[in-house]
Amino acid sequence: MVRKGSRVVVGVSGGPDSVALLHVLNILATELHLWIIVAHLDHSLRPESNEDAEFVKRLTEESGLEFSGRKTAVRSVASDMGISIEEAGRRCRYTFFEEVRESAKADVIATAHHRDDELETFFLRVCRGSSLKGLCGIPAVRGRIIRPMIGLYRAQIVRFLQNEGIRYRIDPTNFETDTDRNFIRNRLVPVIAERFPGFRVTAVRTILTLRHEEDFIEELSSSLYSKAVIQRSNELIMDVHVLREAPAALVARAIMAALHNFSGPDVRWSQSNLDSILRVLRSNNPSATVVLPAGIRLFREYDVLKLARDKPENPLECHPIIVQGPGTIKIWGGHLILTFRVFDRGEESISYTSGSHNEFFDADKAAFPMVLRLSRPGDRIRPWGLDGTRKVKKMLIDMKVPVSVRRKLPLLVKGETIMWVPGIRRGHAAPIEDDTRRVLEVGFRGETSLVQTDNFG
């Protein structure tokens, strides 16, 4: 967990576990050339909490180590964030420890979790509901967090402190049953131990077995993730077909990994969030939206699921744009570009075959000015090569153009005639014919093109 010369932040509350951890690391400091800084967070939950802070500070000074302390109103944090006091305390602690680590340029943060903490967490998650990963206990190492005493039981730690004559503080609230964890520690575990005296050993063995199986399943899930998920700076895209064909357990893991990777560590995802996404994935409806925490939305667009953050619409972008002549027009913040070029038909040897990104018109029949605008209810186009007209909306739906693309795809219009739905279909007007003298070439580039939304082709 530590190498020679490591710089270690040690979280010390003043209780037996963290005091024992500090003493053991301090004993090893000379041999391993460790540099230690003690971090203590006063949660302000008890009147005597300031005495704990003073105790830890004195202990640190006696050991010749550096001390960093902070006082935080955890109860207010819990109220403001709408979370439990226990969860608020956990977040505040790890945030503080990480700030100390960054400031001190330390390598790792050591916490005093042990086997009994792991067992309590196991039972807590069984009672609340958990995935297999949640039942695998507390990892010995997670990123920069290390837990050197995770293989010891609380009784072993207390025995060490007593044998060495080391002082520590007792938090009287640990003996209450007001929180779920305290109830499990003080009521549930003693009853189980009375009936099954050796249950701690067998329970730990079960946790280790689950951890091995979790590692295997996680490897399979990671393989599915690499096949089914593409992440960009502002959105995350999942392939519906790939996910539908995979085993349900791997799908759930891949989606949860996608949520965590997209949102970052501060968002807590629930089973209800996962269930909502799975319903959309399995539905035959090609379009759907799910509102998720932290301003994140999931969109089903035919064969893809997209995670994106809410963005305020800019009404100015919705105004029609008059195209007065040749040139380049950028819209949607420059993410979509149209170019207009006029040339004599005899000037260039060129194929006038229609393509998704370039279209050619008779420049005299499609004379400037023209208009770029968004689709309106009732818009109709006469598609090239077909008789009669079709509703633009129906045409786009039949071609499986995603809703997010349809909403911001401009139409090229001359008078009342829709000349072209860029990237989709040209209209019947102003074709290149034998008597055409001048050619208008319109080019279309942008992240809303169909080629770029077909992420898994």
Q: CB under 8 Å to 159, separation ≥6 — which residues?
A: none
Q: Is residue 163 domain-shared with residue 251, that is, in the same domain? A: no
Q: Per the domain annotation, does 175 fall within a domain? A: yes
Q: Is residue 216 domain-shared with residue 289, that is, in the same domain? A: yes
Q: Hey, how many other C-beta atoms are within 10 angstroms of the C-beta on 435?
A: 8
Is the pLDDT at 317 greater than 70, yes or no? no
Residue that finishes a domain, picked among 287, 309, 331: 309
| Residue 264 in tokens | 């970052």
Q: Per the domain annotation, does 57 fall within a domain? A: yes
Q: Is residue 83 domain-shared with residue 31, that is, in the same domain? A: yes
User: Which pLDDT score, from 0 to 100, does residue 349 have?
Assistant: 57
Average pLDDT, the chain: 88
Average pLDDT over residues 77-90: 89
Percentage of the chain lying above the pLDDT 70 cut: 92
Q: Say how many domains are in the chain.
A: 3
Is the pLDDT at 433 greater than 60, yes or no? yes
Q: Is residue 124 domain-shared with residue 67, that is, in the same domain? A: yes
Q: Is residue 97 domain-shared with residue 193, that is, in the same domain? A: yes
Q: 338 lies in which domain range?
A: 315-453
For the ranges 59-73, 274-288, 438-452, the maximum mean pLDDT occurs at: 59-73
User: Which pLDDT score, from 0 to 100, does residue 354 have?
Assistant: 57
User: Which pLDDT score, from 0 to 100, does residue 447 have?
Assistant: 54
User: Which pLDDT score, from 0 to 100, does residue 356 have?
Assistant: 64
User: Which pLDDT score, from 0 to 100, does residue 351 have?
Assistant: 60
Stronger pLDDT, 320 or 243, i.e. the higher one: 243
Q: Per the domain annotation, does 86 fall within a domain? A: yes
Place 455 in a pLDDT band, splitting at 50, 70 and 90.
Answer: very low
Is the pLDDT at 240 greater than 60, yes or no? yes
Q: Is residue 174 domain-shared with residue 220, that is, in the same domain? A: no
Q: Is residue 389 domain-shared with residue 276, that is, in the same domain? A: no
Q: Per the domain annotation, does 361 fall within a domain? A: yes
User: Which pLDDT score, from 0 to 100, does residue 452 have?
Assistant: 40
- What's the CA gap between 183 and 124, in Å, rounded? 10
User: Which pLDDT score, from 0 to 100, does residue 334 have?
Assistant: 62
Q: Is residue 174 domain-shared with residue 129, that is, in the same domain? A: yes
Q: Per the domain annotation, does 397 fall within a domain? A: yes
Q: Poorest-confidence range of 144-158, 194-208, 351-365, 404-418?
A: 351-365
- Residue 118 is part of a domain; what is its CATH number? 3.40.50.620
Contact 293, 269 (CB under 8 A): yes
Residue that finishes a domain, picked among 309, 332, 359: 309
Q: Is residue 105 domain-shared with residue 121, that is, in the same domain? A: yes
Q: Is residue 135 domain-shared with residue 269, that is, in the same domain? A: no
Place 252 in a pLDDT band, splitting at 50, 70 and 90.
Answer: very high
Q: Is residue 124 domain-shared with residue 249, that is, in the same domain? A: no
For the ranges 94-108, 174-188, 276-290, the maximum mean pLDDT occurs at: 94-108
Q: Is residue 320 domain-shared with residue 239, that is, in the same domain? A: no
CA 221 to chain centre: 16
User: Which pLDDT score, from 0 to 100, does residue 331 have?
Assistant: 77
Contact 426, 392 (CB under 8 A): no
Q: Per the domain annotation, does 1 fall within a domain? A: no
Average pLDDT over residues 160-183: 91
Residue that finishes a domain, picked among 309, 343, 366: 309
Is the pLDDT at 32 greater than 70, yes or no? yes
In three state form, how does the secondary structure of the chain look?
A: CCCCCCEEEEECCCCHHHHHHHHHHHHHHHHHCCEEEEEEEECCCCCCHHHHHHHHHHHHHHCCCEEEEEECCHHHHHHHHCCCHHHHHHHHHHHHHHHHHHHHCCCEEECCCCHHHHHHHHHHHHHHCCCCHHHHCCCCEECCEECCCCCCCHHHHHHHHHHHCCCCCCCHHHHCCCCHHHHHHHHHHHHHHHHCCCHHHHHHHHHHHHHHHHHHHHHHHHHHHHHHEEECCCEEEEEHHHHHHCCHHHHHHHHHHHHHHHHCCCCCCCHHHHHHHHHHHHCCCCEEEEEECCCEEEEEECCEEEEEECCCCCHHHHCCEEECCCEEEEECCCCEEEEEEEEECCCCCCCCCCCCCEEEEECCCCCCCEEEEECCCCCEECECCCCCCEEHHHHHHHCCCCHHHHHHCEEEEECCEEEEECCCEEECCCCCCCCCCEEEEEEEEECCCHHHHCCCC
Is the pLDDT at 257 greater than 60, yes or no? yes
- Residue 304 is part of a domain; what is its CATH number? 3.30.465.60
97-143 pLDDT per residue, tens: 999 999 999 999 999 999 999 999 999 999 988 888 889 989 999 99
Q: Half-sphere exposure of residue 435, counting CA atoms within 13 Å on the CB side?
A: 3
Contact 328, 337 (CB under 8 A): yes
